Amino acid sequence: MIEILSPTKETKMRDQFQPGAFIGSIFLTSGVLDTVNVYHGVSGCHAMAQHFRGDLMPNGGYVPVVGTGFLETEAIMGGAGKLEKTLREIAEARLVKEKPQCIWISMSDCPAVGGEDIEGVARSVAADSGVKIVAIENAGFKGGLVRGAELALCKILDEVVEPHDGEREGLNVIAPFLMGSANWPFDIDHIVEILEAAGIKVNLVLSRNLTFADLKRFSAAEANLLLTYDEMPDFLGKSEALGVPTLTDDLALPFGIGNTEEWLLTLAERFGDPEKAKRYLLEEMGKVKKILHRNYNFSWMASFLSDKYAAVCGYAPFAAAITRYLFHDLNIRVKVVGLWSETEAGIEKAEKVLEPLSESLDFTVLENPTYLQMGEAAKKANVDFAIGSMQDKPLFKSYGIAHLNLGGFYYFNNYNFVPWPLVGVKGSLRLFSEICRVVDDAFYETEAWKKLAFVPGDGVEG
């Protein structure tokens, strides 16, 4: 049985880590390698953008995020002069190593509230320098990460992409960072490998290791594969007008063997070669079997994990997929699932993915819970461990619950392991090892042991 609760609908209270729209735009544009991001806003948000952009560096390239030096004076007098100066110096390759193919402009709330005309400044400098400049009105109050990504996508479709009259082929894989995996740069690289092994052409990934010229291929794709459950109605409408529809199937992301098989075969039926997909899956499973065959350590570890209880929280696509993986692949029972999403559609799709589990499991789904609500629910369910993000680790540790950071994004999310995917059959061994590690941690969780401690007088009548 599945119990669905919406604990914040009445109070509207929020305490989740939720960056503003500009972060979504910078994540998306920072995957276009021969471009530069200009951030027109206060230094704190600029630093945040630079750090999060760091997730893209391993196995990829470096796209600068250059600040305009917006200070208190500019908040009063206006900062258009600093923006123009920064754009010109970048266009002349004085602030960067070489002249970029495009400059993206993002902004914080302060210049947006002050009415900075970033579009006008962009047009003026572009006309003089010959460098393409795309200004994105993506202040924090415009929305969250998803909305920021959508604003950037819409600008790309409006100002970069041209209509395509020829044959359409392949998929545009859109916004991989919105999967909700902390490991997304390595996951998306392997997702492309998986798709191509099944005969599914990938037209482009928006955005991971692209050139600016690659963006113009967008309209040559057969469809978009959006790696989030959240709605992006503006982007979907503009893409449809270019002749590129977007898949709206409620597919579980390919974390674990069961999810991967269902995900890949579904896509191969529509866009690739199902027989190729089956052969690929069997080959990958054979490689895993060869490693684990008669491996006593593995059999002991698998038994060690079986029948444990867990809590999972994170962005809706990731939390739903991991919940399914834990039960289908490892026989771990998730008691509490916290789904975070910017739109109701994101929650609804994740719940649809989880619904079949209700025939075998009793669990509670919390829709956009606060951290406190999530922690209290996990404590009440008496789970052995929790899977979430770096931000909620202190929460679960304070409740005496072992924690594994697999989701979300934060500073240095990808600097404590050798780069390897979590997705696909290939990634299942690393995913399995990570789960083993947190279950082992649960045995040494001092706060958990305190719950079992005998206290003289407990239950004894005076």
For 302, counting Cβ atoms within 10 Å of its Cβ (0-12 exposed, 13-18 middle, 19+ buried), the class is: middle
**Rounded to an integer, what distance in angstroms lies between the CA atom of residue 255 and that of residue 55?**
20
446 Cβ contact partners less than 8 Å away, ≥ 6 residues apart: 400
| C-alpha span between 202 and 193 (Å, rounded) | 9
For residues 140 and 22, the answer to whether their CB atoms sit within 8 Å is: yes
One-letter amino acid of 250: D
Full-model pTM? 0.93
- Reported as a single tens digit per residue, the pLDDT across 97-118 is 999 999 999 998 888 988 889 9
Domains annotated on the chain, with CATH = 21-143 (3.40.50.1980), 171-258 (3.40.50.1980), 288-449 (3.40.50.1980)
The 3 state secondary structure assigned to the chain is CEEEECCCCCCCCCCCCCCCHHHHHHHHHCCECCEEEEEECCHHHHHHHHHHHHHHCCCCCCCCEEECCCCHHHHHHCCHHHHHHHHHHHHCCCCCCCCCCEEEEEECHHHHHCCCCHHHHHHHHHHHHCCEEEECCCCHHHCCHHHHHHHHHHHHHHHCCCCCCCCCCCEEEECHHHHCECCHHHHHHHHHHHHHHCCCCEEEEECCCECHHHHHHHHHCCEEEECCCCCCHHHHHHHHHCCCCECCCCCCCCECHHHHHHHHHHHHHHHCCHHHHHHHHHHHHHHHHHHHCCCHHHHHHHHHHCCCEEEEEEEHHHHHHHHHHHHHHHCCEEEEEEEECCCHHHHHHHHHHHHHHHHCCCEEEEECCCHHHHHHHHHHHCCCEEEEEHHHHHHHHHCCCEEEEEECCCCCCCCCCCCCCCEHHHHHHHHHHHHHHHHHHHCCCHHHHHHHCCCCCCCCCC
Can you tell me the distance from the alpha carbon of 391 to that of 407, in angstroms, rounded to the nearest whole number?
10
Residue 397 CA, distance from chain mean position? 24
Per residue of the chain (462 residues), give pLDDT as tens: 788 888 776 666 666 677 889 999 999 999 999 999 999 988 878 788 777 776 666 666 788 899 999 888 888 888 999 999 999 999 999 999 999 999 999 998 888 988 889 999 999 999 999 999 999 999 988 999 999 999 999 999 999 999 999 999 999 999 999 999 999 989 999 999 999 999 999 999 998 889 999 999 999 999 999 999 999 999 999 999 999 999 988 899 999 999 999 999 999 999 999 999 999 999 999 999 999 988 888 888 899 999 999 999 999 999 999 999 999 999 999 999 999 999 999 999 999 999 999 999 999 999 999 999 999 999 999 999 999 998 899 999 999 999 999 998 877 666 666 789 999 999 999 999 999 999 999 988 877 766 666 656 655 554
pLDDT tens profile 385-440: 999 998 899 999 999 999 999 998 877 666 666 789 999 999 999 999 999 999 99
